[in-house]
Amino acid sequence: MIQETDSIAYSEEDAEQSETSVASPPSTGSQAKVITVAGGKGGIGKTMICASLSMALAQAGLRVTLVDADLGGANLHTVLGMYMPAKTLHDFIQRRVKTLDEVTMPTPIEGLKLVCGAPGVVGLANIQHWEKLKMIRHLRKLSADYVVVDIGAGMSLNEIDLFNSGDITIVVANPEPTSIQECYNFLKVAIFRRLRREFSDSFTVQELLDRCKDPSHANDRRLLTEIGDEIMAADRRDGVLFFKTLNAFAPKLILNRVFDYQETRDGLALQIATQDLLQIKLDYWGYMSYDPSIPQVVRAARPHDILAPESLNRQRFLSMIRKYLLGENIRYQRPGARMILPLLYHQKKNDPNWVSRICSLQCQLWGNCPLQEGGMPCRMPEEEFNEKLGRLGNLKTQTLAA
């Protein structure tokens, strides 16, 4: 059950910080960019994705600090081949040090530092509200280009607020129904939490959100955008803020433990569900294959081998960060645009002559396409597209004839 009210127990040091700083705006200037990684369910590979993403960023020459914020089950240090951390997040929370930089430790990976969680510390998972706010504030102050935050399983306010505080928010899921379902629920709780915080002083909006938040929508079957329309009709400023908040919530999805490429369709299903039922844009960033050597790699404390030099997983993470974080192939999109259409061709309702190709899993070129942007208009020039399709056709005919 989600507890919606926090006990706000600010310390003197934190008193000057307003509560709204939880979901801070994207960082600017020289502040570290914070990437938060969650997924609701335990054991789906959030920690493995955090480690892999951070390693890929460090290998690309960026300064990265990983923060193990799994308050109930810290284990990132083990994945990185470090035992018995000398300093942990607990020292910061207990105010034995003033900054997170003071509890940052070097790792065997060049360019990658770690703020270890505190494994087995009784009560750490129940940190106070002001302690959580302080931690969130200090994440951006770390001396790094990127701070990657590994968030524990669950959907309590600790996990949700930590997740929502990221400049970039990533959800991890496995291609299996329970994980997909829990990931959807996590996103739902996160968007409602964000909207509730934004409208904490508006009784009318809080009441509207309350009515449509239960899973069965027994009291209110309207979608969030319909609620937004009602708010807009009553108060334009509130309405604009509502839609702005909804559009700004743009989590990314990484699938993990994928055995077969076909399984990535589960990611597509999750995207469509979040788009249609929650009106949330969920960008699909890619996937990590199941790698049977991972348990042995962790046991033998060989973190470099998690993304072994020639492995496909390494290539996937490198291209993921190049495409989405380092600005190559950057794309701009209309806020609120539908991200995934299970269509290859798209026709405008009022203009039957206007047809565009939409990037989709159903495209025959999808598997090898360097421009993969599911749901967006295809960026490949028409001629090149037809030529590649033609070549593929010839190849198929040749294979059949052989």
Kindly state the smallest distance separating residue 47's Cβ from Mg ion, in Å.
3
Nearest-approach distance from CB 179 to ligand ADP, in angstroms = 10
Shortest Cβ contact with Mg ion: which residue? 47
Helix/strand/coil (H, E, C) string of 174-205? CCCHHHHHHHHHHHHHHHHHHHHHHCCCCHHH
Alpha carbon distance 244, 276 (integer Å): 18
Residues within window 67-106 making contact with Mg ion, judged by CB under 5 A? 70
CB of 257 to ligand ADP, least distance (A): 5
Residue 18: which region, alpha, beta or left (left: phi > 0; alpha: psi -120 to 50)? beta
Which is nearer to ligand ADP, 249 or 287 (by Cβ)?
287
Sequence-ordered list of residues with C-beta below 8 angstroms from that of 73, at least 6 positions apart, any chain: 42, 117, 119, 152, 153
**Contacted entry of Mg ion, ligand ADP, none for residue 109, CB cut-off 5 to 8 Å set by kind:** none
Closer of 120 and 309 to Mg ion (Cβ)? 120
Q: Which residue, 37 or 208, is less far from Mg ion as judged by CB?
A: 37
State yes or no: residue 54 binds Mg ion (CB under 5 A): no
Q: Which stretch binds Mg ion (CB under 5 A): 43-51, 194-202, 218-226, 350-358?
A: 43-51
Tell me the residue type at 343. L
User: Based on CB atoms, which residue is closest to Mg ion, 47 or 59?
Assistant: 47
CB of 69 to Mg ion, least distance (A): 10
Q: Cα(60)–Cα(56) distance, rounded to whole angstroms?
A: 6
Buried b (16+ CB within 10 A) or exposed e, 193-215: bbbbebbeebeebeebbeebbee
CB nearer Mg ion, residue 41 or residue 194:
41
CB of 44 to ligand ADP, least distance (A): 4
Q: Where are the beta strands (DSSP E) in 194-350?
A: 252-258, 283-289, 345-348
Nearer to Mg ion, 40 or 375 (CB): 40
The reply on whether position 360 binds Mg ion by CB under 5 A is no
Closest distance to ligand ADP from the beta carbon of 296 (Å) = 9
CA neighbor of 279 nearest in space, from 198, 218, 339, 217: 339
Minimal distance in Å, beta carbon 287 to ligand ADP? 9
Binder of residue 45, out of ligand ADP, Mg ion, none (CB less than 5 to 8 A by kind): ligand ADP
Task: Give the footprint of ligand ADP on this chain (CB under 6 A).
Answer: 42-48, 153, 256-257, 288, 290-291, 294-295, 298
Residue among 70 and 145 whose Cβ is closer to Mg ion: 70
β-strand pairing of 345-348 with 351-357: antiparallel
Query: 3-state DSSP call for residue 211?
Result: helix
47 is an interface residue for Mg ion by CB under 5 A: yes
The nearest distance, CB 206 to Mg ion, in angstroms, is 33
Task: Give the number of other Cβ atoms within 10 Å of residue 335's Cβ.
Answer: 11
Q: Whole-number minimum distance, CB 377 to Mg ion, in Å?
A: 37
Q: Which does 291 bind (CB under 5 to 8 A by kind): ligand ADP, Mg ion, none?
A: ligand ADP
373 binds, among Mg ion, ligand ADP, none (CB under 5 to 8 A by kind): none
Q: How far is the CB of 152 from Mg ion (least distance, A)?
A: 7
Q: Which is nearer to Mg ion, 72 or 374 (CB)?
A: 72
- CA 40-50-247 angle, 5° bins: 60
257 binds, among Mg ion, ligand ADP, none (CB under 5 to 8 A by kind): ligand ADP
- The span of 65-73, 78-86, 181-189, 259-267 binding Mg ion (CB under 5 A) equals 65-73
- The CA-based dihedral angle spanning residues 94, 98, 101, 105, taken in that order and rounded to the nearest 10 degrees: -40
Nearer to ligand ADP, 45 or 119 (CB): 45
Whose Cβ is closer to ligand ADP: residue 200's or residue 296's? 296
Rg for the chain, CA atoms, rounded: 22
Neighbours of 11 (CB within 10 A): 12
Helix (H, G, I), strand (E, B), or coil: what is residue 285?
A: strand
Report d(CA 67, CA 69) in Å as an integer.
6
Give ∠ CA 175-181-153 in degrees, rounded to 5. 90
Residues that bind Mg ion (CB under 5 A): 46-47, 70
